[in-house]
Amino acid sequence: MLKRLIPLALLAIATPVTAQGVDPAAITKTVQEISSDAFHGRAPGGPGEAVTIDYLTKRFQALGLEPGGPDGKWTQTVPLLHTKLGQPQKFGVTVKGQWQPWTRGEQAYAWSLQPNDKAVIANAPLVFVGYGVTAPERDWDDFKGVDLRGKVAIILVNDPDFEAVQGDAAFGKFGGRTMTYYGRWTYKFEEMARRGAIGALIVHDTPGAGYGWNVVVSGQGEAYDIVRPADQITSLKLQGWLSGDAATSLFKGAGLDLATLRTAARQSTFKPVVLKEATFSAAVPVTHEVVESHNVLAKIPGTGAPGETVMFGAHWDAYGVGPADKDGKTIRPGANDDGLGIAALLDIARILKAEPVPRRTIAFALWTAEERGLLGSEYYANHPVYPLETTAANLTIDILQTAGRAKDVILVGVGQDSLQDDMARIAATQGRRVTPEGLPERGLFYRADHFSLAKRGVPVLLQMGIAGASDLEVGGVAAGQAWIDAYTGKCYHQTCDAWSPEWNLAGAKQDIDVMLQIGREVANSKAWPDWKPTSEFKAIRDKSAALRP
């Protein structure tokens, strides 16, 4: 049992259970509490975890929910592997017999997600695999049967059609500027591991990645993963990024032109290219430890179909304690990211618990380690408490805009599943329209906790306030963009992501109301949300169709 570490005055959990709408005042109070210094920035495994878990379970208890975790518990234990690379003893390439050392963080940046004391790669052949994609449903294969065992792959970022022009075979095959999962670096590393590579480096460019080199190196050699059995490790000895300049130089030294190969990689006839007389070597010490963290799970059991589930999700973790800012503050409180998501789920739980018992079970998941790579939700997806095949939907809230009422709702992942149609229909009852996310090439659909369930076939919907500029009732799109610029440019993951009396939660209430109504409808329906025919996840869901009545 976790010890009670919060003063009673802080908890304020005796909120009356009444069937009323989303309450911005209650949400504000929760955010003020969960982002206070008492929670130490809510880092997984850190000094704030026990306080956070205790607070959340007592809030759910006070609302009358039941424990939703395994074995009748409120929590699901999530063992996390934490690694950190030391100073490399060797790190670089040999080209035509000449050793070229790389400085980690300059020419290349890498990490390891294997529990070994040292990451060692000795003279491994280098192979350029284009975009590193195999997508049978799009009739695309970058590998053409080439054996990657024992090799280090060099990969382009984003999708094959990200830079494609009319006439290229890839043109339009992967949604144009809208990133698919094939464009995410996580997919690329997983695919290289499946094919037996021992290392992989993605060529960085800011437009394709969606962020600069400064973001790439910000991890300082640290990395997290869920603890996996030895025969299920999906990572490589080393994986990371290669700077654009270093890549160009490496290919030139090997007698190849990277720009020409970029163009070739947009054709369906592309085959992997070995960098002749070029090998990669590394010997880097690794410290590793297992950190125990927890997901928090609560439920409202259904009556008509209790084995079918609708899940609301948000992540409880933030960035903990970091370097002091200009005012000497070190705690990064995560008030919006994702304190607002936590508060939204608790208020949704309050409302639904006060209503007639739903047909399907409604589960509430507050995930750990989202900021470390969606790890709490990934662990759950590998060890589900509620069968994924009969989980009707996952509705995730991760950051909400705090600038006031909006004329629209921002849709992340256009064209994925039928829940998006529900969003449009319900938003229309509010007098609002749907606006597609502003920068679909950045792949936000693949960067929040719902995705851990989506890639296993569960239909999902994400509410993310920074996905696009809201058309605010006061100030329009310009004001919505100004809010995004101010938040992401100054306070995102920083000490100033704190509650402010300047917050206007009227727009957040609109968005939460949409998610609440969708969840309510699905929980009381016999229908099953489904993926659109063009989604890369439809085939996964279809395989389990016989399990859904």
* Cα–Cα distance measured from residue 64 to residue 439, given in angstroms and rounded to the nearest whole number: 41
| Intra-chain end-to-end CA distance of the chain, in Å | 39
Identify the pLDDT of residue 20: 61
CA distance 92 to 284: 11
Pair of tokens at residue 441: 């090439």
- Phi (first) and psi of residue 265, to 5 degrees: -70, -10
Report the DSSP beta bridge partners of residue 75. 296
Is the pLDDT at 21 greater than 90, yes or no?
Answer: no
Global pTM reads 0.87
pLDDT band at 231 (very low <50, low <70, confident <90, very high): confident
Identify the pLDDT of residue 35. 97
Write the CA distances from 5 to 8, 79, 110, 270, integer angstroms. 9, 23, 39, 59
pLDDT band at 220; cut points 50, 70, 90? confident
Name the nearest CA neighbour of 294 among 201, 242, 365: 365
Mean pLDDT of 376-389: 98
Beta carbons within 10 angstroms of residue 534's beta carbon: 12
C-alpha distance from residue 218 to each of 46, 211, 439, 443 (Å): 20, 11, 22, 20
The answer to whether 312 and 149 are in contact (CB under 8 A) is no
Token pair, residue 43, equals 């880092």
Give the pLDDT score at 441.
84
- For residue 437, what pLDDT is reported? 95
**Residue 368 in this model has a pLDDT that exceeds 90:** yes
- Kindly indicate the confidence band of residue 235, based on its pLDDT and cuts at 50, 70 and 90: confident
- Tell me which residue of 284, 288, 242 sits closest to 88, measured CA to CA: 284
pLDDT for residue 15 is more than 80: no
Type and span of the H or E element at 77:
strand 75-85
3 state DSSP class of 475 = coil
Neighbours of 250 (CB within 10 A): 26
pLDDT reading at 393 higher than 90: yes
Give me the mean pLDDT over the 460-483 stretch: 97
Q: How far apart are CA 296 and CA 452, in angstroms?
A: 16
127 neighbors 148 (Cβ within 8 angstroms): yes
Q: How far is it, in rounded angstroms, from Cα 360 to Cα 395?
A: 15
**430-439 burial code (b ≥16 CB/10 A, e <16):** bebebbbbbe
Q: What is the pLDDT of residue 117?
A: 96
- Read off φ and ψ for residue 434, nearest 5 degrees: -95, 135
pLDDT tops 50 at residue 71: yes
pLDDT tens readout for residues 159-179 = 999 999 999 999 999 988 888
- Angle formed by the axes of helices 24-34 and 49-62, nearest 10°: 150
pLDDT, mean of residues 96-111: 96
Q: Count Cβ atoms below 10 Å from residue 355 Cβ, excluding itself.
A: 12
Beta strands, E only, 385-539: 391-397, 408-411, 433-436, 460-463
What average pLDDT score do residues 261-289 get?
97
Q: Taking residues 513-532, report their average pLDDT.
A: 98
Q: How far apart are CA 314 and CA 501, in angstroms?
A: 23
Q: Is the pLDDT of residue 302 over 50?
A: yes
- Sort strands 305-315 and 391-397 into parallel, antiparallel or unpaired: parallel
Mean pLDDT for 16-42 is 86
Q: What are phi and psi of 439, to 5 degrees?
A: -130, 70
Share above pLDDT 70 across residues of the chain, in percent, rounded to a whole number: 96
pLDDT score of 230: 79
Residue that wins the pLDDT comparison between 215 and 111: 111
Strand residue runs (E) in 86-133: 90-95, 98-101, 108-111, 118-128
Establish how many alpha carbons lie within 13 A of residue 448's alpha carbon, considering only the half-sphere containing its beta carbon.
29
- Local structure of 279: helix, strand or coil: strand
What one-letter code names the amino acid at 11? L
pLDDT score, position 18: 38
* 214: pLDDT strictly greater than 90: no
* 262, 155 contact by CB (below 8 A): no
pLDDT in tens, 305-357: 999 999 999 999 999 988 888 899 999 999 999 999 999 999 999 999 999 99
Beta-carbon contacts of residue 63 (< 8 Å; ≥ 6 apart): 15, 17, 346, 349, 350, 353
Note the pLDDT tens digit of each residue in 77-103.
Answer: 999 999 999 999 999 999 999 999 999
Give residue 395's pLDDT. 98
Alpha-carbon dihedral 146, 151, 157, 159, rounded to 10 degrees:
20
Task: With a cut of 60, say whether residue 416 has pLDDT above it.
Answer: yes
DSSP state of 357: P
Distance of CA 349 to the CA centre of its chain: 23
Whole-number CA gyration radius for the chain: 24
- SS3 call for 438: coil
pLDDT value at 435 more than 70: yes
Q: Taking all residues of the chain, what is their mean pLDDT, rounded to a whole number?
A: 93
